[in-house]
Copies of this chain bind each other. A is one copy, B any other.
Amino acid sequence: MTVPTPQGTLYLVPAPLDFGCATQAPLQDVLPQGTLAVAACLQHWIAENAKSTRAYLKRVYAAHPSAHTLQSLHIQELPRAVHKKGDHPGVAHDFDARPLLAAALGLDGAPQDIGLVSEAGMPAIADPGASVVRAAHALGLRVVPLVGPSSLLLSLSVSGLNGQSFAFVGYLPQDASARNARIRELEALALHTGQSQLLIETPYRNAAVLAALLAVLQPRTRLSVSFGMTLACMASRSASVADWRAQPAALPLDLPAVYCIGL
């Protein structure tokens, strides 16, 4: 009879959405005790950036007692190629994350649980981390996602657009004519299939993207724009393009935004 080797669990640990913001709210406002309790217990981490992971865990330890110190943590960073190009299936470099999960296998001592975390929100959603999850499945590890904020889901719920069918399509092309063509393509998809189309943009391109959307979309198409979900400065507007044009909104264009196009 073979007794299976005990193995660690990979926890997908969400982070608050205030990364890089001047003011930060208490973690308890956006993370359940259940998530804080697991994050406080984990000594082994895989992260986009070790420094910001320590800053996050310092806040976790202030909210929930931990047996660990920041100095005693083992934090492995995802390689630079993953930062730049992502690690979702189909990208060229096909990063193999299995070596990062060695501590969970217990080959070299007791098996350790490992946390996967990104700068903000859910790891592996609009952020790197999918390669680590795939590697965990390939190694037969248990993978447990924890509850926390997602700017995509919060923005979709606050949009009032179709949440029974929706797509997240990432960023628009930077070239103006390619961007306009892509906006037309997404609008046609939304109008013909009823599927809401979500996209994101970095703060310094917000004004240009909003102007392009209002120039290209049809008047009766609905456009929702959401900024700073969960933050004190949170703002969102959902209206027809005609209404947007008639009453230009004073939205805080210095925050990451989620745009939603639909019926």
Chain A interface (Cβ < 8 Å from any Cβ of B)? 12, 25-26, 28-34, 86, 88-90, 122-127, 129-131, 133-134, 136-137, 143-145, 147-150, 152-170, 194-195, 222, 229-230, 234, 236-239, 262-263
Chain B residues contacting A230 (CB-CB under 8 Å) are: 147
State in angstroms the CA–CA spacing of A122 and B129 once bound together. 24
Pair A125/B170 contact, Cβ less than 8 Å: no
* A162: contacting residue among B88, B145, B157, B234, CB under 8 A: B88
- How many copies of this chain sit in the oligomeric assembly? 2
Chain B residues contacting A161 (CB-CB under 8 Å) are: 88-89, 130
Pair A167/B170 contact, Cβ less than 8 Å: no
State in angstroms the CA–CA spacing of A230 and B239 once bound together. 35
State in angstroms the CA–CA spacing of A133 and B155 once bound together. 12
State in angstroms the CA–CA spacing of A130 and B26 once bound together. 29
* A28: contacting residue among B34, B170, B236, CB under 8 A: B34
Least distance between A64 CB and chain B CB atoms (Å): 11
State in angstroms the CA–CA spacing of A89 and B161 once bound together. 7
Pair B145/A148 contact, Cβ less than 8 Å: no
Pair A194/B236 contact, Cβ less than 8 Å: no
Chain B residues contacting A162 (CB-CB under 8 Å) are: 88-90, 130
Given contacts A28-B32, A124-B157, A158-B145, contact A164 B194 (CB under 8 A): no
